[in-house]
Amino acid sequence: MRIPYDEIVVLLAAILRANGFSKDRAVPAAELFADASRDGVQSHGLNRFPGFVTMVCDGYVKPEATPTLVEQMGAVERWDGNLGPGVLNAHQSMDRATELAREHTIGVVGLRNTNHWMRGANYGWQAAEAGCLGICWTNTEPNMAPWGGDRHGVGNNPLVIAVPRSDGHVVLDMAMSQFAYGRLGNHARSGEPLPVAGGVDSSGEPTTDAAAILDGGRVLPMGYWKGSGLALMLDLIAALVSGGKTTRDIADLEPEHSVSQVFAAIDLSGVNQASFHEAVVERAVEFVLAAGEGEAAPRYPGQATLSTRRDSGKNGVYVADEVWQRIKDLAPDR
């Protein structure tokens, strides 16, 4: 079904209010969930909202906890997320990174002891809207076998990189697994094969059968040894910069909480003319798009976002019927 964005925010915020969020925190948190669905990322938007409320009810997410500054060290700051809501902690941290970037050209925030940030691209778009290049990533619980292994040993540690562009920012949001678990679930339900092998089945054979991957198999890192190696590096940097936990440490915390994240912003407005920036980005994007034709032609990262957002604005945000029902069931009596 299609629901107007504002109606979603009102309902989500009411539910958060009933679960310990103050009003000035319930609305922005609700918006960050609604934004993900509005931009077409239901798996990390409304689909996750009921689970998020459960985490709040169970005390893993502290609605009113906000990040506290632990160390100020030049262009880098270390903050403790105090297990506050991941979406609000992440948003505040990218905001702080852009402030630091105004002063030092680059600003980096290491955030420890925080919670799942839901859709990472939200914070990339945020940096780009502020006129900055944005780079951020999070570690996760171990949910992927490193290349050569058959037991979970790395997280899928999503990485987001954003570059401002006037006709729609270029925003990459990619986990270190070849496919997100959400997408595997969709394919497992529909039976449609994955476009490329996304994991191995229970006998270790590469497969495009999502159900076989989820049922006794395991996901493959993107690029095999490459995604596996990059996942470890992102985990190490996040833990070292934030002073927080690695994927290994998070393994002991069930359900997943207290993750480590890095937010970097680069503000080049003092040195790059806007026209230089536009020309660089536009020409490079144009070159990528010109490298093929047809239905599966090249796209730039984030290309679909603005059209989906426009469609959501016009026709309402797509929400699966059962998800909307589950959310309505969480609503306080009015």
Q: Which is nearer to its own copies, 51 or 216 (CB)?
A: 216
Q: How far is the CB of 7 from its own copies (least distance, A)?
A: 33
Q: Which is nearer to its own copies, 17 or 248 (CB)?
A: 248
* Site for its own copies contains 280 (CB under 8 A): yes
Of the candidate residues 54, 185, 288, 308, the single one contacting its own copies (CB under 8 A): 288
- Give me the phi and psi of 37, to 5 degrees please: -65, -40
Binding range to its own copies, per CB under 8 A, among 19-27, 246-254, 309-317, 320-328: 246-254
Q: Alpha-carbon torsion 12, 17, 23, 25, what sign? A: negative
What is the footprint of its own copies within residues 155-174 (CB under 8 A)?
161, 163, 170, 172, 174
Contact (CB, 8 A) for 114 and 83? yes
Report CA-CA distances (Å) from 295 to 33, 292, 298, 299.
30, 10, 9, 10
Q: Which is nearer to its own copies, 103 or 192 (CB)?
A: 103
CA dist 285 and 9 (Å) reads 34
What is the footprint of its own copies within residues 8-67 (CB under 8 A)?
none
Q: Which is nearer to its own copies, 195 or 313 (CB)?
A: 195
Q: How far is the CB of 137 from its own copies (least distance, A)?
A: 12
The alpha carbons of the chain give a radius of gyration, in whole angstroms, of 20
CA dist 58 and 68 (Å) reads 23
Residue 136 tokens, joined: 């951020």
Q: How far is the CB of 143 from its own copies (least distance, A)?
A: 12
Q: How far is the CB of 148 from its own copies (least distance, A)?
A: 4
CA dist 149 and 303 (Å) reads 35
Active site residue 44: yes
What is the footprint of its own copies within residues 124-153 (CB under 8 A)?
133, 142, 145-153
Q: How far is the CB of 190 from its own copies (least distance, A)?
A: 20
Contact (CB, 8 A) for 17 and 23? yes
Binding range to its own copies, per CB under 8 A, among 39-47, 184-192, 234-242, 313-321: 234-242
State the number of CA atoms in the 13 A half-sphere of 91 facing the CB.
Answer: 18
Contact (CB, 8 A) for 90 and 116? no
What is the footprint of its own copies within residues 68-127 (CB under 8 A)?
71, 73-76, 78, 103-106, 108
Q: Which is nearer to its own copies, 300 or 324 (CB)?
A: 300
Residue count at the site for its own copies (CB under 8 A)?
78
Of the candidate residues 113, 114, 207, 246, the single one contacting its own copies (CB under 8 A): 246
Write the burial class of residue 75 (CB in 10 Å: 0-12 exposed, 13-18 middle, 19+ buried).
middle
Q: Which is nearer to its own copies, 22 or 272 (CB)?
A: 272
Q: Alpha-carbon torsion 75, 78, 79, 83, what sign? A: positive
Write the burial class of residue 50 (CB in 10 Å: 0-12 exposed, 13-18 middle, 19+ buried).
middle
Q: Does residue 334 sit in helix, strand or coil? A: coil
First to last CA, the chain: 23
Q: How far is the CB of 25 from its own copies (least distance, A)?
A: 29
Binding range to its own copies, per CB under 8 A, among 28-36, 88-96, 217-225, 325-333: 217-225
Catalytic residue ranges: 44
